[in-house]
């Protein structure tokens, strides 16, 4: 008898959980867009394999940004510079290969190391100089954008200008074609290519990353510390956790994830561009918040963030299916963010109210 009761409450727990309402939201969104697109375009233009593959294709870059953002937000911080760090990474790879003939692995390694360095700088500003996280990362963002313009210039050119760098065929030949091949593998390789369900390689990277981070968060000691620091930094200190150390690691991680996003951006286009990732700054934040990462820190998980990511991407795709202009999509992403915030604030208040009544 007891086991039946337990099972019943497990089901009830699930339906009350955030994951459930998120999945519900996702399903709702899909339904709305399918119907809308049907009405507008007279046919199934949203719920198709093509849409699905587009979503999957465009998911990876914002996905990594969301990953870093979510992890950081659980600890109560925010990083507005991650998009710039990613763009910098992409540009660095292009520049180092194009101008200095770096091999592909050296370019990627250096890009990631520099990204982590930026993350550490953010952490220094927040921890040692007590900057507000958003101000620190916002200021760093402009600095990094400037450095991005700097490295995009061809040192050998007579009058170097900030530019978009595309890996030229000469360079590729010079390096025996391998850098491009590897980068193309990262960026463009698709399993079952050409078929209806082609799966890009980088999405596998993304899913693997989410799983790994999810495990770290749930199952490792470090993950527990992240939750503790995010939930109550003072109490965390009084049980022996070092909030500063956690903060450093998470800022570095956010930058690292952004770096990976940069690597993938570059690999997809074999270009470094100064406007890369600009639109994605808030996608990461929105996805994380939609996914139940509370802005105050201390709750939420990778699973929720992933679904939040799906919701955000499906939204963009849905807007395309109903032929909305990309600018309107940007506008409505802002609305989506506001909705995400309201959900967050409302659920916080509900939880506290429930608790007070229970006491």
The residues in 218-237 that bind other proteins, with binding defined as CB under 8 A, are: 219-225, 227-228, 231-232, 234-237
201: tokens are 């390689």
Among 35, 117, 197, 331, contact with other proteins (rule: CB under 8 A): 331
- Could you give the string, one character per residue 181-220, with x where binding to other proteins holds by CB under 8 A and - elsewhere? -----------------------------------x--xx
CB of 69 to other proteins, least distance (A): 13
Give the count of beta carbons closer than 10 Å to the beta carbon of residue 208: 10
Site for other proteins in 100-139 (CB under 8 A): 125, 129-132, 134-136, 138-139
Q: Which x/- pattern, by CB under 8 A, does the window 158-177 give for other proteins? A: -xxxx---------------
d(CA 2, CA 313): 43
* List of residues 6+ apart from 89 with CB closer than 8 A: 111, 112, 114, 115, 258, 259, 260, 261, 262, 263, 266
Q: By CB under 8 A, which span of 170-178, 198-206, 305-313, 329-337 interacts with other proteins?
A: 329-337
255 touches 121 (CB < 8 A): no
The footprint of other proteins on this chain (CB under 8 A) covers a number of residues equal to 74
CB of 68 to other proteins, least distance (A): 17
Per CB under 8 A, contacts with other proteins among 27-86 are none
**Nearer of residues 125 and 180 to other proteins, judged by Cβ:** 125
Return the SS3 of 277.
Answer: coil
- Applying CB under 8 A, among 193, 196, 204, 328 the residue interacting with other proteins is 328
Report the residue number, 168 or 326, with the smaller CB distance to other proteins. 326
- Identify which of residues 41 and 132 has a Cβ nearer to other proteins in the complex: 132
In angstroms, what is the minimal distance from the CB of 231 to other proteins?
A: 4
* Angle of helix 243-269 versus helix 201-219 axis, rounded to 10: 170
Secondary element (H or E) of residue 190: strand 190-191
* Helix (H) or strand (E) run with residue 172 in it: helix 169-174
For other proteins, the binding residues in 307-326 under the rule CB under 8 A are 325-326
User: Which residue in the set 27, 143, 193, 196 belongs to the binding site for other proteins (CB under 8 A)?
Assistant: 143
98/79 Cα distance (integer angstroms)? 30
What is the spatial distance between Cα 345 and Cα 352, in angstroms, rounded to a whole number? 11
Distances (CA, A) of 218 to 122, 168, 185, 222, 308: 26, 45, 32, 9, 18
CB of 191 to other proteins, least distance (A): 31
Residue 279 near residue 86 (C-beta atoms within 8 A)? no
Residue among 143 and 196 whose Cβ is closer to other proteins: 143
Among 32, 117, 149, 208, binds other proteins (CB under 8 A): 149
Residues in 276-305 that interact with other proteins by CB under 8 A:
282, 294-295, 298-299
Which tokens in the block code for residue 30? Answer: 């899909």
Q: Which is nearer to other proteins, 140 or 203 (CB)?
A: 140
Q: If you search the block for the tokens 């990594």, which residue do you land on?
A: 64
Cβ neighbour number for residue 68 with a 10 Å cutoff: 31
């Amino acid at each position: 008898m007891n086991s039946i009761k337990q099972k019943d409450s497990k089901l009830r727990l699930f339906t009350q959980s955030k994951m459930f309402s998120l999945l519900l939201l996702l399903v709702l969104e899909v339904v709305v867009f399918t119907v809308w697109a049907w009405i507008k375009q007279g046919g199934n233009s949203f719920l198709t394999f093509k849409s699905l593959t587009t979503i999957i294709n465009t998911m990876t870059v914002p996905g990594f940004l969301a990953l870093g953002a979510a992890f950081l937000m659980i600890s109560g911080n925010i990083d507005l510079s991650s998009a710039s760090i990613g763009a910098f990474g992409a540009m660095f790879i292009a520049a180092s290969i194009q101008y200095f003939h770096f091999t592909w692995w050296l370019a990627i390694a250096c890009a990631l190391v520099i990204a982590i360095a930026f993350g550490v700088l953010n952490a220094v500003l927040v921890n040692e100089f007590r900057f507000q996280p958003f101000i620190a990362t916002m200021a760093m963002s402009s600095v990094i954008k400037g450095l991005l313009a700097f490295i995009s210039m061809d040192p050998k050119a007579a009058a170097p200008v900030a530019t978009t760098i595309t890996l030229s065929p000469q360079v590729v030949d010079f390096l025996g074609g391998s850098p491009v091949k590897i980068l193309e593998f990262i960026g463009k390789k698709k399993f079952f290519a050409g078929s209806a369900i082609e799966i890009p390689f980088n999405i596998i990277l993304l899913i693997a990353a989410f799983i790994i981070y999810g495990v770290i968060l749930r199952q490792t000691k470090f993950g527990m510390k992240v939750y503790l620091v995010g939930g109550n930094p003072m109490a965390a200190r009084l049980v022996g956790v070092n909030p500063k150390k956690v903060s450093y690691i998470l800022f570095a991680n956010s930058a690292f994830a952004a770096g990976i996003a940069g690597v993938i951006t570059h690999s997809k286009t074999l270009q470094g561009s100064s406007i890369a990732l600009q639109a994605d700054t808030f996608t990461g934040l929105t996805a994380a918040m939609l996914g139940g990462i509370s802005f105050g820190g201390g709750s939420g998980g990778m699973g929720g963030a992933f679904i939040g990511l799906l919701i955000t991407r499906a939204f963009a795709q849905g807007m395309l299916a109903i032929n909305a202009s990309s600018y309107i999509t940007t506008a409505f992403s802002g609305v989506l963010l506001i909705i995400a915030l309201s959900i967050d604030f409302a659920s916080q208040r509900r939880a506290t109210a429930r608790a007070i009544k229970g006491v």
